């Protein structure tokens, strides 16, 4: 049974509903603006390394 959600799986779902790179960046910006701690927690939950989380959050500000 597959229980871990991967970054690739998450991105694939975003693409399946029509989100492009710009829209995904906008989603991250909104998440960071409205709930920075939640954004951090979500990125950790996805299993991203700390350096990548820092890159995403910095680009989202």
At 23-57, the pLDDT tens digits run 999 999 999 999 999 999 999 999 999 999 999 99
Domain presence at residue 24? yes
DSSP state of 18: T
Is 2 among the domain residues?
no
For residue 11, pLDDT over 70 is answered with yes
Count of domains forming the chain: 1
DSSP 60: T
Instruction: Identify whether 45 is part of a domain.
Output: yes
Is 1 inside any structural domain? Answer: no
Tell me the pTM: 0.85
């Amino acid at each position: 049974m597959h229980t871990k959600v991967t970054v690739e799986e998450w991105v694939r779902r975003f693409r399946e509903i029509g989100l492009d790179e710009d829209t995904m960046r906008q989603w991250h910006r909104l998440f960071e603006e409205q709930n920075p701690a939640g954004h951090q927690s979500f990125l950790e939950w996805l299993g991203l390394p700390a350096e990548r989380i820092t890159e995403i959050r910095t680009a989202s500000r």
